[in-house]
Amino acid sequence: DTAVSQTPKYLVTQMGNDKSIKCEQNLGHDTMYWYKQDSKKFLKIMFSYNNKELIINETVPNRFSPKSPDKAHLNLHINSLELGDSAVYFCASSPQAGLAKNIQYFGAGTRLSVL
């Protein structure tokens, strides 16, 4: 069973559309994350949720809105897509029980292409 699963794996869409990426983890972790990896492979944290509450919200356009219906799910909704949103988006999860146990496990990524 996949520990952190994201859907879809590939997403091709037109500028101006609204799209969502879903993420689910079956590890029982308390914390989930969204990262953006640009064309130069640089990874940037976007959001972090701990037990459904937002704890990290980096400088991200408000067109991006994370939603956590429960601690096993963290979905990313993007409004009015722009060309610059094209990237690979990774979901990750980790236990929050102290630094010693904080290992982040990643989903397979969603490659978003905005045309």
- The residues that touch another protein, with contacts defined as CB under 8 A, are 31, 40-45, 48, 56, 88, 90, 92, 94, 96, 99-100, 102-106, 108-109, 111
Distance CA 5, CA 93 (A): 10
SS3 104: coil
Please, what is the minimum distance in Å from the beta carbon of residue 31 to another protein? 7
If the CB atoms of residues 11 and 92 are measured against another protein, the closer one turns out to be 92
Min dist CB 56 to another protein, Å, is 6
| DSSP letter (8 states) at residue 30 | S
CA-wise closest residue to 19 among 85, 84, 73:
85
Q: Is 15 or 55 the residue whose CB approaches another protein more closely?
A: 55
**N residues, the chain:** 115
Cis amide linkage into residue 69, ω under 30° from 0: no
Of the two residues 57 and 79, which places its CB atom closer to another protein in the complex?
A: 57
